[in-house]
Amino acid sequence: MKKQQSISRFFTAT
C-alpha cells in the first residue's frame, strides 16, 4: 500500500 507523503518531509524549514 502506497502512503501519501507530507511535502514538509522533503524540505527544511528556514
Partner 1 sequence: MLELRLVQGSLLKKVLDAIKDLVTDANFDCSESGFSLQAMDSSHVALVALLLRSDGFEHYRCDRNLSMGMNLTNMSKMLKCAGNDDIITIKADDGGDSVTFMFESPSQDKVSDFEMKLMDIDSEHLGIPETEYHAIVKMPSAEFARICRDLSTIGDTVVISVSKDGVKFSTSGDIGSANVVCRQNNSVDNKDNETVIEMNEPVSLTFALRYLNSFTKATTLSNTVTLSMSKELPVVVEYKIAEIGHIRFYLAPKIED
Beta carbon of residue 9, minimum distance to partner 1 (angstroms, whole number) = 7
Pairwise CA distance, residues 1 & 10, whole Å: 20
Compute, in degrees rounded to 10, the torsion defined by CA atoms 2, 3, 4, 10. -100
Q: Where along the sequence are the contacts to partner 1 (CB under 8 A)?
A: 1-14
Beta carbon of residue 4, minimum distance to partner 1 (angstroms, whole number) = 5
Beta carbon of residue 14, minimum distance to partner 1 (angstroms, whole number) = 4
- Match 522533503 to its residue by C-alpha cell: 10
